[in-house]
């Protein structure tokens, strides 16, 4: 009777199939994620799937169960998906930079110039009107003759208007006030709001709030054309030293484009404040 009894202590212990299933599952998941990472790498989301596949594959390799070969392939495919996603991300970024450069070149060529419906005002005398800046200083357009003038119609809450602000700050730094006047006109905000945003952005030129609510007699508060029609942001009117409108343009423009409009009267019309006087040629 003793001979027929099985010695359970001498039988090798085998891993239960239920204990093998989790590690097989990790291997399969790693492989599937690796394939998915490569498949969707063109939209860059393969990076996420690839990282997850590598993590699950490593977790499977760290165990004692089967599926290590499958997990290894999952890791290899996941890493490939990560690399492909990075390559596509760089390509997309390069296309973005190229597109941004093309936009600057497009603006520099002047294709946006005078595309406003107010082109009939170009080469005409700038209509005069009185304004008071947020510091309480009053002046008229006619007071500024002898200097070039940039009227920038902007809205503090508009992102494109804010993007253009550094260009005008740079112009103010580069050209003397005796030759160039820059005025930011805000027709949507109250004076104290315009002033607050101006300080926040570090604006170094006069700001004028032409919101009708700032005027005691709102019914009579109307700007002459073409200023009354400046509703796009930003919209800019360039006036030469004779008081003649030389260009009107809407939307965001690069710094180089705006500067080229300032210099439009000729190379001797205006000179940078930082220019070396010894390099300025005299008229022959």
Bridge partners, residue 248, by sequence? 237
Gap between the Cα atoms of 237 and 121, Å rounded: 10
127 within some domain: yes
| Structure token digits, residue 115 | 């595309």
Number of domains in the chain: 2
243 in the same domain as 123: yes
132 phi, psi to nearest 5 deg = -125, 125
| pLDDT of the residue at 231 | 72
| pLDDT of the residue at 262 | 76
Q: Which of residues 108, 134, 160 is at a domain's end?
A: 108
The DSSP bridge pattern shows strands 148-154 and 180-186 to be: parallel
**CATH number of the CATH domain containing 250:** 3.40.30.10
Q: What is the pTM for the complete model shown?
A: 0.54
Between CA 215 and CA 220, with CA 217 as vertex, the angle to 5 degrees is 105
Q: Determine the straight-line distance between the first and last CA of the chain, rounded to whole angstroms.
A: 130
Residue 104's domain comprises 18-108
* R_g over Cα of the chain: 34
85 in the same domain as 213: no
| pLDDT of the residue at 271 | 47
Can you give the pLDDT of all 284 residues of the chain as single tens digits? 455 555 544 555 554 554 555 667 777 887 888 888 788 877 777 788 888 888 888 888 887 767 778 888 888 888 888 888 888 888 887 777 766 655 555 444 443 444 445 677 888 899 998 888 998 899 899 999 999 999 999 988 888 888 999 999 999 999 998 889 999 998 888 888 888 889 999 999 999 988 766 555 554 557 888 888 777 778 888 999 899 998 888 888 888 888 887 776 543 345 455 444 344 344 33
| pLDDT of the residue at 213 | 64
132 within some domain: yes
Residues 6+ apart with CB under 8 A from 142: 128, 243
| pLDDT of the residue at 44 | 74
Q: CB of 79 within 8 A of CB of 100?
A: no
Residues 6+ apart with CB under 8 A from 272: 174, 175
Burial 188-199 (b: 16+ CB within 10 A, else e): bbebebbbebbe
| pLDDT of the residue at 104 | 54
97 in the same domain as 151: no
11 within some domain: no
136 in the same domain as 102: no
148 in the same domain as 250: yes
Q: CB of 246 within 8 A of CB of 239?
A: yes
| pLDDT of the residue at 55 | 87
Q: CB of 220 within 8 A of CB of 73?
A: no
């Amino acid at each position: 009777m003793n001979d027929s009894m099985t010695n359970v202590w001498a039988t090798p212990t085998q891993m239960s199939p239920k204990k093998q299933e989790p590690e097989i599952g990790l291997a399969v998941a790693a492989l599937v994620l690796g394939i998915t990472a490569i498949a969707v790498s063109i939209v860059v989301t393969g990076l996420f799937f690839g990282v997850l596949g590598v993590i699950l594959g490593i977790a499977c390799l760290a165990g004692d169960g089967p599926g290590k070969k499958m997990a290894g392939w999952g890791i290899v495919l996941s890493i490939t998906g990560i690399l492909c996603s990075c390559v596509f991300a760089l390509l997309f970024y390069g296309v973005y930079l190229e597109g941004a450069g093309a936009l600057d070149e497009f603006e520099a060529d002047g294709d946006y110039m005078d595309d406003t419906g107010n082109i009939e005002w170009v080469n005409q005398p700038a209509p005069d009107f009185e304004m008071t800046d947020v510091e309480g200083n009053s002046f008229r357009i006619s007071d500024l003759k002898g200097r070039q003038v940039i009227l920038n119609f902007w809205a503090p809450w508009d992102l494109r208007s804010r993007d253009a602000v550094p260009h005008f700050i740079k112009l103010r730094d580069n050209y003397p006030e005796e030759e160039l006047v820059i005025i930011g006109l805000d027709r949507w905000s109250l004076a104290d709001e315009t002033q607050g945003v101006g300080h926040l952005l570090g604006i170094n030129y006069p700001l004028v709030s032409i919101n009708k609510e700032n005027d005691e007699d709102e019914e009579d508060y109307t700007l002459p054309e073409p200023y009354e029609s400046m509703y796009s942001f930003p919209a800019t009117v360039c006036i030469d030293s004779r008081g003649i409108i030389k260009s009107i343009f809407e939307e965001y423009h690069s710094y180089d484009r705006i500067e080229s409009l300032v210099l439009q009267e000729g190379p001797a019309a205006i000179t940078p404040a930082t220019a070396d006087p010894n390099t300025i040629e005299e008229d022959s």
